[in-house]
Amino acid sequence: MIAAILSIIFLIYGVRKHSQLFASEYRLSTWQEGLKMYAPAIMIIVSILFVIYSMLAFFTGGSVPVPSMPNVELPTMNGLATNLTNSINTAKDSIANELQLNGANKGNNNTLLGSLMNNNTNNNNKGNNNNKNKSFRRSILETA
């Protein structure tokens, strides 16, 4: 640990001494140093040329190619009404079939409420007869 700390200290000291000793050579050794005094003028000229080019491109009537939009057709009201009606009829028929099956199996239940009450009563009776069995009970919404 001591060697690592001493090596870091000596490295920092060596780099600092080296940069002090050869500062003038580093400053003059790069070719970009001569161009530093021209940098503001170059940036101003480039900015002016960009503004001129932008104005010319804007006012010369150059057009940007825009792809054509695909033709989207909305469904007609009759088609929507037919689809909606078919969906409602399918749901109604499946509920009616389920209620008829439950009514045939459970007795004379002609209504949804009667079917739900009968299923819930049967499930509660099963649970009361077998209290030692810690099984899950079905809710009234799951019995339909």
Which 8-state DSSP code applies to residue 107?
Answer: S
Residue 119 makes CB contacts below 8 A (sequence gap 6+) with 102, 106, 140, 143, 144
Question: Over pLDDT 70: what percentage of the chain?
Answer: 67
In this predicted structure, what is the pLDDT of residue 36? 81
Domain ranges of the chain: 2-58, 99-144
pLDDT tens by residue, 72-119 = 787 788 888 888 888 898 988 888 888 887 766 555 445 555 555 555
* Backbone Cα Rg of the chain: 43
pLDDT at 109: 46
Predicted local distance difference test score (pLDDT) of residue 114:
54
Top-confidence range, 16-20, 82-86, 124-128, 132-136: 16-20
Are 47 and 55 within 8 A, CB to CB? no
Mean pLDDT of 35-54: 90
Q: d(Cα 46, Cα 110) in Å, to the nearest integer?
A: 87
Residue 16 clears pLDDT 90, i.e. is over it: yes
